[in-house]
Amino acid sequence: MIYFNNVSKIYKDATALDDVTFTVAAGEFVSIVGHSGAGKTTLAKMIVADDNPSLGTVFFESVNVHKLKNKDLTKLRRRIGVVFQDFRLLLNKTAYENIAFAMEAVGKTDLEIASDVPHVLELVDLSHRMHHFPNQMSGGEQQRLAIARAIINQPELIIADEPTGNLDPVNTHEIVQILKKINDLGTTVILATHNHGVVDSIGKRVITMENGKIIKDTKHHKL
């Protein structure tokens, strides 16, 4: 599904990615682990063409994502859901409205919205918070809402960039369980984290990064 071919990203003062090559198959759950500055976020940005490689190529299926015209890039991004550390929720909209807004953006009807939003809120255990605003919710609830918004349009891939970075261990566990559930339903998941405990609890493939390089790729991580 995703193929990085000798990808490097060089800024004036630093190398963010250094000759990175790896493949992610459809349906995989891959954790990318490394300290802050290891290159995890840059790598995630490459997949959605938020950043361009200095060298090398990034493919989504057989398409070079950095050669896409704007119209085709928009189509590609609709196939990918992104979850951020800082939630990026619309503070003036309720949980229901935050998700509905993401559906409206891709042209879904009011009927589809009324049908799908309660279902996805149930999936992330937020049915009881449907009409609450983000500032009335805990950090863990806000992140679960951000995940619901990311999956509502049924993307083929979820990229979660440090989704548990601001959360306590209990909420971290809940977020990981939801990501595993999404993966079990057939969605490919790429999780970028510095938290080795999170990775150990998942028990799936782990790519370890350091100074922009992949230093280890463990295909079947043992618990």
Q: Which tens digits make up the pLDDT trace of 35-88? A: 888 899 899 999 999 999 999 999 999 999 999 999 999 899 989 999 987 888
Please indicate, yes or no, if residue 223 is contained in any of the structural domains. no
Asked if residue 181 belongs to a domain, the reply is: yes
User: What's the total number of domains in the chain?
Assistant: 1
Q: What is the pLDDT of residues 138-187, one digit of tens each?
A: 999 999 999 999 999 999 999 999 888 888 888 888 999 999 999 999 99
| Within a domain: 139 | yes
Reply yes or no on whether the pLDDT at 223 is more than 60.
Answer: no
Please give the Cα distance from 184 to 124 (Å, whole number).
Answer: 14
CA distance 36 to 162: 10
CATH of the domain at 136: 3.40.50.300
What domain range is 74 assigned to?
Answer: 2-218
In a 13 Å sphere around the CA of 26, the CA atoms on its Cβ side amount to 8
